[in-house]
Amino acid sequence: MDKSITVNGLRFSPYLDREQIAAEVKRVASEIRRDLEGRRPLFICVLTGAFMFAADLIREVGITDSSVAFVRYSSYEGTQTTGEVKQLMGLKEDIEGRDVVIIEDIVDTGLTACKMMEDLGARKPASLRFATLLHKKESSRTGFVPDYVAFTIPSDFIIGYGLDLDGSARNLPDIYVHEDYDN
């Protein structure tokens, strides 16, 4: 049976289902717990795409004495990166002396990740780590290496589980890949 879907006129095929996602979220959560047990981590969720991953990950990590904050960056239009990273919403919280874990949906070129590491690193956290749901290793323009990765994937265009196509499809519980994506 063809389980492909059409979003805004583009065709997408099933790529990672909710069981696979849950298993890798669990693994990443145990790595974070191992590294930060006994500390008071501050999780910074990068809006909008990481909201679903962050909600699942933070619950799995299960450190009650932790907090959550949000930032918003944007670099994509449609299915392409613009190469220019814009901060749309900054951080009000004081992160000096905190053990910070940034939670992102995808590291693609790595430009957004590098900008965030630079912005947040300048605010003197005790430690700064980076967790991502997806890592498009071959698309890197920066050599940025995340501390925690749920899935390493090729340079395809992905939607679902928080990730959008021009605002749509974030609700999908599974992840889909664009058929015929020409990078």
Q: How far is the CB of 65 from ligand 5GP (least distance, A)?
A: 28
Decide whether 66 or 112 has the Cβ nearer to ligand 5GP.
112
**CA–CA gap between residue 57 and residue 66 (Å, rounded):** 13
Establish whether 108 is a catalytic residue.
yes
Catalytic residue of the set 56, 99, 105, 108: 108
Looking at the Cβ atoms of 41 and 110, the one nearer to ligand 5GP is 110
The interface region with ligand 5GP, picked from 24-32, 34-42, 58-66, 75-83 by CB under 6 A, is 75-83
Task: Single out the segment in contact with ligand 5GP by CB under 6 A; choices: 26-34, 37-45, 74-82, 90-98.
Answer: 74-82
Interface residue with ligand 5GP, options 75, 87, 119, 126 (CB under 6 A): 75
Answer yes or no: are the C-beta atoms of 180 and 14 closer than 8 Å: no
177 Cβ neighbours under 8 A, 6+ residues apart:
12, 13, 15, 156, 157, 158
If one asks whether residue 56 binds ligand 5GP (CB under 6 A), the answer comes out as: no
Q: Binders of ligand 5GP: how many residues, by CB under 6 A?
A: 20
DSSP characters over the chain: ----EEETTEEEEEEE-HHHHHHHHHHHHHHHHHHHTTS--EEEEEETTTHHHHHHHHHHH--SS-EEEEEEEEEEETTEEEEEEEEEE---S--TT-EEEEEEEEESSSHHHHHHHHHHHTT--SEEEEEEEEE-GGG-SS----SEEEEE--S--EEBTTB-BTTB-TT-SSEEEETT---
53 binds ligand 5GP (CB under 6 A): no
Minimum Å distance from CB 88 to ligand 5GP?
11
Q: Does 162 bind ligand 5GP (CB under 6 A)?
A: no
User: Shortest distance, CB of residue 166 to ligand 5GP, whole angstroms?
Assistant: 9
**Contacts with ligand 5GP, residue ranges (CB under 6 A):** 49, 75-76, 81, 85, 104-113, 157-159, 163-164
Active site residues: 108
